[in-house]
Amino acid sequence: MGTCNRITTPFLANDISVLKAGDELLLSGIIYTARDAAHKRMTEALHRNETLPFDLKGTVIFYAGPSPARPGEPVGSIGPTTSYRMDPYTPLLLERGVKGMIGKGDRSPDVVRSMIRHGAVYLGATGGIAALLARTIVASRVLAYSDLGPEALRELEVRDMPLVVLIDSSGNSIYKIGPEKFGGKA
């Protein structure tokens, strides 16, 4: 459907503008994991004008909570969670500088509009390959919310994580393009 790109974090406007829905990419650099509870805490902190434990500008957030690591490994299996649960929190995070999200499933119209407004992309990690995705993680450390266990806010260093652009910064979505192209229903 698209091309394959190698891209590193933090994301710059030039990195994002070339990515099109359906493109495959290999992502390297620093990303952050956060699921529903961590998103809620981050947005509450931002509403209170508190500083987050990492700079949001140019960041990528992976909607995941890794399983416990085996000795000598940075994480256990790690796979994407359904992204719509983060939709209530996403526009504020995009406004504050997040440029990429990794998850699975379609996003709300509000999130897509915010992605277009702030120049962000939504990337997909294939569900069911959590053990393989874990092999792309070089390092991991908990930054905040350790009481959330595997859903704590975590910093990951990744190398060549295979992803697909699900929704690009122009709002083009494989959830719409695919069915139109192949005659299915969204």
Residue 186 has pLDDT above 60, yes or no: no
Number of domains present in the structure of the chain: 1
Please say whether the beta carbons of 106 and 80 come within 8 A: no
pTM to 2 decimal places:
0.93
Residue 184 has pLDDT above 70, yes or no: no
Range of the domain at 124: 4-182
Residue 127 has pLDDT above 80, yes or no: no
DSSP 101-147: EEEBS---HHHHHHHHHHT-EEEE--TT-HHHHHTTEEEEEEEE-GG
DSSP 78-97: --PPBGGGGTTTHHHHHHTT
Q: What is the pLDDT of residue 183?
A: 64
C-alpha distance across the termini of the chain, in Å: 17
How far apart, in whole angstroms, are the C-alpha atoms of residue 91 and residue 185? 27
- CATH, residue 136: 3.20.130.10
How far apart, in whole angstroms, are the C-alpha atoms of residue 46 and residue 40? 10
- Candidates 102, 106, 143; CA nearest to 11 is 102
118 catalytic, yes or no? no
Q: Of 39, 104, 107, 154, which one is the catalytic site residue?
A: 39
Computed over every residue of the chain, the mean pLDDT equals: 92
Q: What's the pLDDT tens digit per position in 54-86?
A: 999 999 999 999 988 889 999 989 999 999 999
Q: What is the pLDDT of residue 1?
A: 47
